[in-house]
Structure 1
């Protein structure tokens, strides 16, 4: 009984379904807040940081990225060439030392063979990366603010061009021994410095305080100009310089301060123009840009890197940045945040924020300004780098493991499992495999009191894994929530061990009896040990019966008794099962009896079966008529005449039970008069005299009239019909059916008492009786309505009848005359005898002399047959010869005989 006690404790500790629904609801209310946007990247230090000692001491000022290398400019004027993991081989690619002060800008050419750099030492240097053919240093009179290589810099005969921006945009083109400078744009002092420039194809974009312009080489003129969408006086370009990003199809993205502008260059070379497609503000000062090319150019997503000052109004932040003159002059209590955003442009001034990350554990001082942060990327490689003054951070796209961890962190269980399922092969041997994630999800739901949600996801999570289902059953048992598994536990694919099903059944037994009964009825008994469940059910019923009586307790006990009956059936303990079903008056007892052929066990309890459902019990009796005599059944239900009537009705519908015909008449007369007359008409086994006496005593008119007619007493039947019905049509129809002239005469005598019907009767009887007989029956000294019209009709019908007889007689005489004439004509017709005619007996030609016969000795009949007199006398017996002599053709008579035979 230890197991029983455990289940009793389970029942007392929680109220199963109601408890679960409460916790699901409360949890959902607490979880109404939407989770943050899912990150698209994770941020890692370069692996080479630990081995490259300069990274721990150097101050970084600029960065550029190529497919193969990273170029890092430092405050000491050095440039380090590293791979994408932060490792550098300074023996093969030595450290570049082009400047004596901080490197302000550094750029790779398209092949990665050269690095272009500038600094405040008024020098522009082209340095080689394993190649020194085009290396050079250009001394200028100003401090350059921006530089960029020509796309075809390394190509022969291209001029090996690059550009530099200060107040003017200057193109440098290599001649024999030196670079030649030519101004592409001349700016005034009020236009400010060109802090950003870029070169794509034959388009050169540059930005100063008056906006961004696009210069087209070939036609050598500016083709478009875009004004700034922010206040350049409030946010100085020196503190938040513009950033350029060229995307496919000549699309230029300008990130400047807190604004993003997307400019599309359209048209053919020589007639190009620029169109602004998007222009919007973001919640940070942009320090770097790249893009994520998934979805094509129309659905491109921008990857923005920038700074945000937390704790201040955005306008105040902008003003603060604009007024800073030195790093130490910016004294504020605000916190500087380095963040990234992925945005998707929508309308002209609208965008959708796809993700937003704050990069933590980055050493940023409160004096950090946007120009101190740099961001570059190679979109098609999914590689992005962020540079601060002291660190290089690599933005790595989120992988399946990262996505699953993030979803689990924010309880996005369905999304986490879908990702684990999608990458099942990749994660199969990790701690985030589909199996591990599924178990984590179930644990999470159970720990957060959302057991019903956990149960609903088990079919998806466990699938066809026997091991996972059994683990889930054990886990739900620990949480005392096994009842929730009743609707989801598989019974076929896979099939679990018997213990798992028993745990769910016992949990339902003590917590949800209706569900327990449903499982017992629907689950195959092969899934669990029925003996264990029977013992526990009996014990539970005993416990319930000891409690105080109430309607709810009685209903629970009845449900469990029903389930116990089904368990007994599985154990083939039919008597116990029938006993329970009978005591509960359960309609299912009939199905059980039919299915298992158990009629012999209940045939002595017919009365009880009738109480449960008389219709079903009667059908059961009739289906098992060979097992029980009708007399036995009638005896058992002798005190229930209505049940007897129903039983006899079913019995006689099968043409059985003829010996109970009189009893049936009595029961119909007492309890169902409507069916009495149809029974009297259909059945022929009852005693007519007894039935007549019963119907007459009960005053049943239709039945009495029918019995009069059935016994042959038509006169009484007609008389009673006239007296009771007051309707002459029924009586006339009855007389027509009998076709008895005496009955019509009797009817005339009876109807004399009802003059109103006499005229109609005269008309109807005119074809059945002699008019003289009808006239003789006319009552005297009685006013008969419409008598004159009736008599006219009577005489007219009689006259027509006599005339019809005369016509028929004359027609018959005429036919006889015609036929007689035809007969005589045929009889008098001559018979032709030809030379080739043959005797019908010997088949010889009648004119032949070979046999010595004379031509005159022939017998010829009207039918055309010819006989030799000798043949007819020699070949036939006396009766045949006599027939011929009497004029009867033997050939015709033989044919008639043969046909008859």
Structure 2
């Protein structure tokens, strides 16, 4: 049957039925390596190795590596797309990868290929098979092929891509930022943040996207806090909505530099917060009243800082506008003496809703006085209760028995061999009178607590 099969194969090759001949090879030749190689050479003579490529053994038994290399060479010269498919499909142990790489490089030098990108992609895969990942990544980036991200993750190439970070972000922003944000088992970045910041310092947009992502992920950690100064500048340029929340929750950015950035961009709410933080509350209040014209925010600002001079400044700003006076009359009574405002209102000024505002002001002030009186009563009551408890505790007796020791000499206080008076202080430390300095019998040497007026002396 083998002889008949081989004659049938010869007949098919003679009739140029190469596809069918390749299929028959698999059925006729089985696992006979020698016969396989003889038939492969017949296909090679007529340049039809491509027809038999899919039927070549690839499992637990395989042919010599030069057989598979012959097939790859033919694909490279005649059908680059098929060459790429085979490189992706065939495991690299079927052939000598370095030999194929050299053949590809030589072919690229000698011929002007129309399908150069296809061959370069295959070459990148071959470099990866040969563990030359830097060359493979460089080719992927040159081709703008997004398979580079899969390769980085698959082969753990995070240490190799430090010089390629900006190119990777050009290729795919979301994938790059996700890759740059990956953590190892210890929770540290697989690519250190200082490396990323250094590589992106000349590309502020990419740096903003990276740091913003890190900040959202690490709001409760200190990993990115060292870059808050940079992030303030980037938020001011690319995302103002995130600027004020960052200024409020962080304390690791240079305040003066942040203030200058806000002044340059005329960001008033941010300037108000920073001025208040550095103690320049008067300028902050002036900005609120002159630029923001928000009397409610001004009251809140004065309430937060609780400064009488600041309230005076607010009143000065409000006196020029009757509607502001109305608003203050209705709300100032809970925080300061409202007479300060009333006495400074000019005679004859028309104030809308004055009657209602005065009534509300008096109610608020009376409520404040009432609350203060109630608190005073509670405090006085608590004071006397605690004082009585303290006196009671200090009037109790202190037990001194045969097991008690002197806090100075560590010997028993009561001993037939030692005749000395025993002095016990209110702190419950006991001493032999002979152990205490004669100049300091009124204070415990350990805690310096004054002795009780009725300190016990025991013979």
**Shared fold per TM-score greater than 0.5:** yes
Unpaired runs of 5+ residues, structure 2, are 182-188, 404-415, 425-430, 434-440, 443-450
Q: 1:784 to 1:494 in 2, by over 3 A?
A: farther
Does the 8 Å CA contact 1:483/1:511 hold for their aligned counterparts? no
**Partner in structure 1 of residue 406 of structure 2:** none
User: What displacement does 1:530 show?
Assistant: 1.9
User: What displacement does 1:497 show?
Assistant: 3.6
User: What displacement does 1:560 show?
Assistant: 0.2
- Which of 620, 631, 642 in structure 1 is aligned with 2:205? 642
Q: 1:776 to 1:569 in 2, by over 3 A?
A: same
**Partner in structure 2 of residue 655 of structure 1:** 224
Q: 1:468 to 1:674 in 2, by over 3 A?
A: farther
**Partner in structure 1 of residue 98 of structure 2:** 531
Q: 1:495 to 1:734 in 2, by over 3 A?
A: farther
**Partner in structure 2 of residue 474 of structure 1:** 40
**Partner in structure 2 of residue 128 of structure 1:** none
- In 1, the alpha carbon distance for the partners of 2:106 and 2:147 equals 24
User: What displacement does 1:558 show?
Assistant: 0.6
- In 1, the alpha carbon distance for the partners of 2:158 and 2:376 equals 77
Does the 8 Å CA contact 1:445/1:451 hold for their aligned counterparts? no
**Partner in structure 1 of residue 129 of structure 2:** 570
- In 1, the alpha carbon distance for the partners of 2:5 and 2:350 equals 109
User: What displacement does 1:714 show?
Assistant: 1.7
**Partner in structure 2 of residue 792 of structure 1:** 359
Q: 1:773 to 1:534 in 2, by over 3 A?
A: same
Q: Deviations over 1:3-45 (max 9, x none)?
A: xxxxxxxxxxxxxxxxxxxxxxxxxxxxxxxxxxxxxxxxxxx
User: What displacement does 1:749 show?
Assistant: 2.7
Does the 8 Å CA contact 1:446/1:454 hold for their aligned counterparts? no
Does the 8 Å CA contact 2:333/2:361 hold for their aligned counterparts? yes
**Partner in structure 1 of residue 427 of structure 2:** none
Does the 8 Å CA contact 2:72/2:83 hold for their aligned counterparts? yes
- In 2, the alpha carbon distance for the partners of 1:482 and 1:793 equals 99
- In 2, the alpha carbon distance for the partners of 1:464 and 1:723 equals 93
- In 2, the alpha carbon distance for the partners of 1:465 and 1:731 equals 90
- Which of 265, 270, 280 in structure 2 is aligned with 1:713? 280
- 1:803-814 matches, within 5 Å, as 803-810=370-377
- Which of 118, 133, 144 in structure 2 is aligned with 1:559? 118
- Which of 773, 780, 801 in structure 1 is aligned with 2:340? 773
RMSD of aligned Cα (Å): 5.6
1:716 aligns to what SS in structure 2?
helix
- In 2, the alpha carbon distance for the partners of 1:668 and 1:885 equals 65
Does the 8 Å CA contact 2:121/2:139 hold for their aligned counterparts? yes
Does the 8 Å CA contact 1:525/1:570 hold for their aligned counterparts? yes
Larger Rg: 1
Q: Deviations over 1:860-895 (max 9, x none)?
A: xxxxxxxxxxx9xx752478899999645679xxxx
Q: 1:741 to 1:562 in 2, by over 3 A?
A: same
Does the 8 Å CA contact 1:759/1:786 hold for their aligned counterparts? yes
Q: 1:680 to 1:529 in 2, by over 3 A?
A: same
- Which of 408, 421, 443 in structure 2 is aligned with 1:876? 421
Q: 1:442 to 1:626 in 2, by over 3 A?
A: farther
Does the 8 Å CA contact 2:158/2:190 hold for their aligned counterparts? no
Q: Which has the higher strand share?
A: 1
- In 1, the alpha carbon distance for the partners of 2:350 and 2:5 equals 109
1:545 aligns to what SS in structure 2?
coil
- 1:446-845 matches, within 5 Å, as 451=19, 465=31, 470=36, 474=40, 477=43, 482-483=49-50, 491-542=58-109, 544-545=111-112, 553=114, 556-573=115-132, 576-577=135-136, 580-589=139-148, 595=155, 603=163, 611-613=170-172, 623=190, 625=192, 633=199, 638=202, 640-643=203-206, 645-646=208-209, 654-655=223-224, 661=229, 665-681=232-248, 684=251, 686-778=253-345, 780-810=347-377
Taking structure 1 as the reference length, what is the TM-score of the superposition? 0.36
Does the 8 Å CA contact 1:466/1:495 hold for their aligned counterparts? no
Does the 8 Å CA contact 2:127/2:135 hold for their aligned counterparts? yes
User: What displacement does 1:575 show?
Assistant: 6.2
Does the 8 Å CA contact 2:12/2:21 hold for their aligned counterparts? no
- In 2, the alpha carbon distance for the partners of 1:623 and 1:761 equals 56
Q: 1:535 to 1:477 in 2, by over 3 A?
A: farther
User: What displacement does 1:717 show?
Assistant: 1.6
Does the 8 Å CA contact 1:544/1:557 hold for their aligned counterparts? no
Q: 1:775 to 1:440 in 2, by over 3 A?
A: farther
Does the 8 Å CA contact 2:124/2:139 hold for their aligned counterparts? yes
Does the 8 Å CA contact 1:569/1:577 hold for their aligned counterparts? yes
Q: Deviations over 1:308-351 (max 9, x none)?
A: xxxxxxxxxxxxxxxxxxxxxxxxxxxxxxxxxxxxxxxxxxxx
User: What displacement does 1:782 show?
Assistant: 3.7
Task: Point out which structure has higher relative CO (alpha carbons under 8 A, 6+ apart).
Answer: 1
- 1:98-109 matches, within 5 Å, as none
Q: Deviations over 1:73-105 (max 9, x none)?
A: xxxxxxxxxxxxxxxxxxxxxxxxxxxxxxxxx
Unpaired runs of 5+ residues, structure 1, are 1-430, 547-552, 832-838, 844-870, 892-901
- In 1, the alpha carbon distance for the partners of 2:143 and 2:52 equals 29
Q: 1:531 to 1:771 in 2, by over 3 A?
A: closer
User: What displacement does 1:769 show?
Assistant: 0.9
- In 2, the alpha carbon distance for the partners of 1:649 and 1:826 equals 59
Q: 1:877 to 1:582 in 2, by over 3 A?
A: closer
- In 2, the alpha carbon distance for the partners of 1:469 and 1:508 equals 23
- In 2, the alpha carbon distance for the partners of 1:691 and 1:656 equals 15
Q: Which has the higher helix share?
A: 2
